[in-house]
Chain A
Amino acid sequence: MILRRLLLLALLFSIAACSSVKPWVKPYERQKIADEIMSFERDPIADSYLHHVYDAREAARGGDGASGGGCGCN
């Protein structure tokens, strides 16, 4: 029952996603968003390395938008 309700909710969300809500930032208004200085991870291996250092020096992990691998830094 709960599963069905969740599925119905997902379905409603899907319908809403493509019908009633219109993009309030038009594609031609996104030149600033597309600027390279607006990227969360501009250079992948440079960012990945810094995340690796954080993971090695701190107990916290995850929640940083990075995908981690096993680094053997226990």
Chain B
Amino acid sequence: MHAKQRAAATAHREVAVAVINRLLLLALAFVASCAQAAVLPDERIDLLYHGYDGGGAQIDGPSVLVRKNIGASVSVAANYYVDMVSSASIDVQTNGRQGVDVESGASKYSEERKEYGFSGQYLVDRSTISLGYTSSNENDYDASTYSFGINQSFFGDLTTLGFGVSFGDDLVGQNNADGSTNPDYKRDLQRRKYGVNASQIVTKNLLASVSFDTVTDQCLNLSEDLSCLNNPYRQYRYHDGNSYKWDLEKYPHTRSSDALGIRAIYHLPWRASVRGEWRDFKDSWGIKANNYELRYTHAYHSDWIFEGKIRFYDQPTGADFYSDIFDYKDAQNYLARDKELSPFTSTVFGLGVTYKIPAGTIPWFEKSTANLYWDKFDIDYEDFRDARVSPEDYAAGDEPLYSLKADVIRLYLSFWF
């Protein structure tokens, strides 16, 4: 009897699986048959110089992108990017180990992070499949990221739905004070990102999109008393009598976060557009944040584009285990003094200009532009104090709150062919 029941159940499952498979095939067939044709991205070359100067850190370098079509349905792209670090941030000046820059996440001695990226897009009739690989290397941090995504348009190209996943494997290392690599410090970090997005042509002047991403980080093969998600050089501080002392931070082994973003862009009656963006964020460490951005883009004659924007970022809640100064050493399981995990507000004001170089000036290219964009960051920390001041002038924990101003420059040439 039991054997008969098991056989019947098995048969039932097989039928169910067959039905599901057929439904899946039907759904895929319909999706494939009713969507509209997608297009490949532009063939172009970009040469970018980027510069960041703020809070005592100067980071700059080049970035190059080449994107080319192969036949009518494949687009491939390669990107090369370099960060060159040339000075030390507040973390180094206050608590970092000698010669190590924790602001940039790079050793002062390495002074360089190189990133290579390769990606491809395949147009399958009416949908686009994307694959990507990125490798980032410095002498105390290696990261590899593999990504996959698919987009499909519906309703006569009015709606585009997509999803994407990326898998990252990082190896976190540490440099010694003399610049040599610590051979005993190798910590594996696994990153996962899953996202869905939808964009919609709402009217003939309005475009909107919504995206949701969930991201997880996890340390692998690590004992409970060690960390991999923090910077290995950064320290927390704790009260010690009338003064304070430093000790290495300690983080949880996992972090997961969700972010929802909505963007819209509207074409004004004259040749200009207004773009608005909102994002809400929260994570498993107790951090909550949101940001708003408003951007105005104005085309002047046929060869100039001017842009102005303002962006507000508010992080009212920091990580549960963040403190500017703890009451005593090892006051809790996890201890952090990363100012990015503290509550703060940030305002970014940006200006930019694009100039279309007259056709024919640069041979071989259909269109060329020269671009200069400048962003001014103004960050006010609400619970991160400037511990560089003299302990004789300020009691521990009563130092002035830190604020950071930074200038970000993007100077680049773009060529379409």
Contact = CB atoms under 8 A, between A and B. Distances in A.
Interface of A: 3-4, 7-8, 10-11, 14-15, 17-19, 21-25, 27, 29-30, 32-33, 35-38, 40, 43-46, 49-50, 53-54, 56-65, 67-74
Contacts, number: 225
Interface of B: 16, 19-20, 23-24, 26-27, 30-31, 33-35, 46, 48, 50, 52, 63-65, 67, 79, 81, 104-106, 113, 115, 117, 132, 134, 136, 138, 141-145, 147, 149, 154-158, 164, 166, 168, 170, 172, 191, 193, 195, 197, 201, 203-205, 207, 209, 211-215, 229-231, 257-261, 263, 265, 267, 271-273, 275, 277, 279-281, 283, 287, 289, 291, 297-299, 305, 313, 315, 318-319, 340-341, 346, 371, 373, 375, 377, 379, 406, 408, 410, 412, 414
Interface of B, secondary structure class, is strand
Nearest to B137: A72
A61 B203 CA distance: 30
20 contacts: A3-B20, A14-B34, A15-B30, A23-B155, A25-B204, A27-B156, A30-B201, A37-B297, A43-B371, A45-B48, A46-B48, A49-B81, A57-B377, A59-B318, A62-B261, A64-B259, A65-B209, A65-B261, A69-B143, A70-B170
B205 A11 contact: no
Given A37-B297, A62-B281, A70-B134, 10 more contacts: A11-B23, A24-B158, A25-B204, A40-B207, A53-B52, A62-B193, A62-B261, A63-B260, A63-B279, A67-B132
A21 to B, nearest CB: 5
